[in-house]
Amino acid sequence: MKHVLRHAQTCGVVLLVLSLCSPCPQASQPDPATEALSSANGLFNRGLYELAADEYRTFLEKFPEHAKADQARYALGLCLYHSERFREAAEPFEPLASNEDFAHAAEVHCLLGQCRLALGDHAAAEKAFGWVVANRADHEIADDAAAGLAETFLARERWADAAEQYERFLDTYPDSALRPIALLWSGKAAKDEPVGRAIAFLLKHQKDDGGIYADTGLKTYTTSIALTVLVKADPKAYAGAIEKAKAYLIEHQWDETESIDKGNPWYGGHGYGQHERPDVSNTQYFVQAMHEAGVPKDHPLWKKVVVFVSRSQDRSESNDQAFVGTDSGGLIYSPHAGGESKAGTVDLPNGKKGLKAYGSMTYGGFKSFMYANLARDDPRVQAAMEWIRRHWTFEENPDLGQQGLFYYYETAAKALKAWGEDTIVDARRRNHDWRAELSEAILRRQKSEGFWVNEADRWFEGFPPVPTSYALIALAHCR
């Protein structure tokens, strides 16, 4: 995840497809093109991006000259981008980028830039991001493009250009949710100018529904982090805003109020926002916010959290909707649609593929179990801890390598602090002072200029403010 408020626009543009690809009102007997587009949109709306991509391709093959063909190409690109199939996503974005009159040209260029950056095509990424900065400077997504351009300079080792671009970005877009919480955990007070300015920015963006978010996307992330900021800063001074944000997050937990019953794999989880499928990452940020805000342990939300997190755990004995895994006790990204893991699959003895648990989600789920007041000897808690013991390391994000490493550090620090033991005994019965080991791993990776950056730039940890924020928060929990 990149700078939360800044990248809300890029990640959130996937929601725009619901409006820009909606078929025009038709008579009671829709034409085949409208039916095909409606089918694709329905799959997209349910988060079934692979299936939606197939439907959009079929539509474009049958109706290449349709009035909404460009919108369908955009939607196809979004599906592939959302699935992290960046090379394929770039293909429909490229012809759209040449049409400056396309209604969402800025979004297309920014997404194309992200695809090219992920693929290591830095010249093409610079061109795409630069177009937005030069031609759509007032667009709501321009900050994302400006930061992407800085990342591209960094990747090309154009240090002076990168430094100049970062300075320009920070001058133009100085506020975010992650930066103030990192400063607060590092000992800054709400009255200190950088924190106070950022808090004012967050309060400015609190909506009438109580959420704290930009106009599109990442509503759970930004509201959860912002709520944590306000609680950490001054719970009395910001009591009204805290209660509104808390109510917003509770209201948007997937449950019966959204016609999701307990038998649905979405039940109890949180996603990027309304209509978005839940995952452990969004859910653990929601759980962290509820914990920080002091929500009573007898509140119904906690039992619902346990239901969702249990269904994300690779433990068939307690998972009533078990996905195909290895019974490792670790956690995957989401139980949605048969399960999803960012770590991919592992070959099973029966010839099938099993989803692979990985470090950051296992710590996130483990922490969520703890905050939800499961007993330490609960089999689900013990299974997650045993996975952690078997995969003990701070040299990588287990089963993801260097990807998401600083997110892993922050999540591990919070989870181990919640566990409450100073020493962890790994599977080989070796003792580990987790605070000392984690601090050493983080400090060893600090650049001489003072910041942190991850060369494995998945989830945008190549943008220094993000891993730097994660690192500061993790170090604060090691104290």
Per the model's pLDDT, the better-predicted residue between 385 and 143 turns out to be 385
Residue whose C-alpha is closest to residue 10's, from 89, 127, 114, 93: 114
Q: Strand, helix or coil at 2?
A: coil
DSSP assignment of 321-372 equals T--SS---S-B-SB-GGG-B-TT-EEE-TTS-EEEPP-HHHHHHHHHHHHHT
Nearest CA to 41 among 64, 63, 67, 68? Answer: 68
Q: How confident is the model at residue 234 (pLDDT cuts 50, 70, 90)?
A: confident
Q: Supply 226's token pair.
A: 């912002």
Q: Is the pLDDT of residue 202 over 90?
A: no
The most confident of 21-30, 81-90, 302-311, by mean pLDDT = 302-311
Residues 6+ apart with CB under 8 A from 84: 118
Per-residue confidence band for 15, with pLDDT thresholds at 50, 70 and 90: very low
**Bigger pLDDT: 217 vs 56:** 56
- CB contact set of 137 (below 8 Å; sequence gap of 6+): none
CATH of domain 178-477: 1.50.10.20
Answer yes or no: is pLDDT of 31 > 60: yes
Q: Residue 281's closest CA among 229, 322, 342?
A: 342
CATH architecture of 8-172: Alpha Horseshoe (1.25)
- Return the minimum-mean-pLDDT range out of 171-175, 401-405, 409-413, 460-464: 171-175
Give me 68's structure tokens: 């909404």
pLDDT higher than threshold 70 for residue 18 = no
Per-residue DSSP letters for 224-270?
HHHHHHHHHH-TTTTHHHHHHHHHHHHHTSSSGGGT--TTSTTTT-B
Of 52, 27, 26, residue with least CA distance to 39: 52
**Which amino acid type is present at position 284?**
Q
For the chain, the structural domain boundaries read 8-172, 178-477
Q: Is the pTM of this model over 0.75?
A: no
CA 31 to chain centre: 38
Predicted confidence (pLDDT) per residue in 361-373, tens digit: 999 999 999 999 9
How confident is the model at residue 178, as a pLDDT?
55
**pLDDT at residue 152, rounded to an integer:** 83
